[in-house]
Structure 1
Amino acid sequence: MKRRFLLLLVLVSLGFSACKKGDTINTDPSLVGTWKLPLPSIVDNTRTWEFQFKNNGTMQFSIYYTDAATGKVLGYYLKTIGRYKKLRTNRLQLYNVTNYSNDPTKGPYAAEADLIARSTNATTDYTYFINAGGKELDITIDCPPNANCIGKLTYTKQ
């Protein structure tokens, strides 16, 4: 009985020592930065999809509208804030994600402060590829069977 207790104690100790507060975050340095995908939208406006990956493992994804003539941000359709990690080669996971969006009954976009939290602690897996020059990011969401998902999208590094 003592032997089992000691074995259990050793295993628990190893478990705690393997998880330190300062552990390295598994990120891909080539992802760090701002990636944009501008799309034509409402007359005289441009809708932009933008990923921001930071080297501390945090990320932000936004869909926002800008004035086509001035480039000024008019408002946000959606904003996602969370963390990311590289799972293995060309596999990415966004986790601890909170999604915010505008109230569609009030128009296609809203001020950032007026976005409404819609879901929290979400996790989504992606396949990604950064071209040899490091200027383009191809990203595809893992789509469950029978779901209607967007295919591969190509973002440009800013």
Structure 2
Amino acid sequence: MTSNFSAARVVLVAVAAACVALVIAALLVVALRPSAPLHEESTPEGVVQRYLLAYEAGDLDAVRDYTVDGESRQLCNPESLGSGQLDIQLIRSTASGSRASVHARIEGGDSTILPLLDGSSYEDVFELRMAQDRWLIERMPWQVGLCTEKELGY
């Protein structure tokens, strides 16, 4: 009976070690993932990237500078600024005249803990327009959004 107990203990330790190794491997994959190249600020993609970097850093003034009607915009969800809970990847963009759209894949939750199990991702769009000879964001996904006072009901 003792040999069965020892065999079960060995199997349990082996399974636990495999789980720990899998978690470490997943963390290494996430940590060593290359960052996206920074686009030119004069492009719609570059404006969206800088907007997201400022949003992640919690710099509301810089975030407003990349939006149409920036002075009248406020956080729709004050807790979200600088929370770092989203992974947003730019997929493609289209531009026509003074309008542009930047499509992004948004992955919610904290995917750094269990990146392989986080399945909450979807696509959304940043809409931009040319104003004052530069691209400005007119509409953004709600998770990283600013609202005008009118939209907030003031």
Q: Same fold (TM over 0.5)?
A: no
Bigger relative contact order (CA 8 A; separation at least 6): 2
> TM-score category by the smaller chain?
0.3 to 0.5
TM-score by length of 1: 0.34
Bigger share in strand: 1
Bigger share in helix: 2
TM-score by length of 2: 0.35
